[in-house]
Amino acid sequence: MTVWDVGGVTTYGGTGSNTTAMMLARENIAPGTMHQGVSDATRMHIVVPAGIGHYSVKSALGWIGCGGRIIEVPTRGYRYDLAALERTLRQRQGEIMAVVAYTGDSRTHTVENLRAVHDLTRAVDPRIWLHADACWDLMCAFAPELAPKLAGIEDFDSVTVDPHKVMDIPYAMSALLVRDPASLRLVSSYSGLIMQEDFAFGQSPRSSAPRNGPPSSCGR
Ligand SMILES: Cc1ncc(COP(=O)(O)O)c(C=O)c1O
């Protein structure tokens, strides 16, 4: 087993995890953008439920160079109106890189109908990245009577969870979990300076330097 089999990364907060998820969505729809830059942002819209989406997703789109390409879909009872979602996905086919669903949105704490959103999205366009912002409610997984609320989340491409929100952890701690561990390679970069092995714990630029001088090339 290596670090590439873990299936997630920790970040400083839900904002960081959601941003990483949006980067994955971007690289998934347009591989190589990380190196070449965004060439066609019209393919990089994100669908969110109207009125309950968290601002971090919109900010993320700006930070990763896609512009504020948010498509808001009407809701019913703080979940996607599934007919409206299907209409949007069909009308905007080819323009959408991700659908975001809330597993406990920050205002109402409603858990999305994840199975239905998954099945609908995959049926219209299987290339769309499915992200569940479960900052609050992935914790339902720990309670047998609440876990069924999460049905379908296992098929989402990425899931954000924030132990610092509901687990009383006194420091910033978020995780982005991915369905396919290998997908994290889409946004990874490699530095010969300190990452010469998968578990290079404790290695520093000094200890990785050749004995008779500094590393010849930094950030390679
Ligand atoms: C649903 C949701 N997503 C994302 C975030 C952002 O999390 P953080 O403040 O840890 O960056 C929050 C924060 O409240 C949230 O409620």
User: Structural domain boundaries of the chain?
Assistant: 8-187, 190-220
Third-level CATH fold of 8-187: Aspartate Aminotransferase; domain 2 (3.40.640)
CA–CA distance, 10 with 171 (Å, rounded to integer): 13
Per cent of the chain over pLDDT 90 is: 77
Residue corresponding to tokens 């008779």: 212
Query: Which distant-in-sequence residues (6+ apart) come within 8 Å of 131 by Cβ?
Result: 18, 21, 22, 25, 98, 99, 100, 101, 156, 157, 158, 159, 160
> Model-level pTM?
0.89
CA–CA distance, 28 with 86 (Å, rounded to integer): 21
Whether 176 lines ligand 1, by a CB cut-off of 6 Å, is no
Q: How far is the CA of 51 from the centre of ligand 1 (A)?
A: 15
pLDDT digits (tens, 9 = 90+) for 89-147: 999 999 999 999 999 999 999 999 999 999 999 999 999 999 999 999 999 999 999 99
* Kind plus residue range of the DSSP H or E element containing 124: helix 114-124
pLDDT digits (tens, 9 = 90+) for 133-165: 999 999 999 999 999 999 999 999 999 999 999
Mean pLDDT along residues 62-89? 97
The number of the ligand 1 atom at minimal distance from the alpha carbon of 105 is: 1
DSSP state of 171: S
| pLDDT bracket for residue 201 (50, 70, 90) | low
Ligand 1, atom 7: nearest CA belongs to which residue?
14
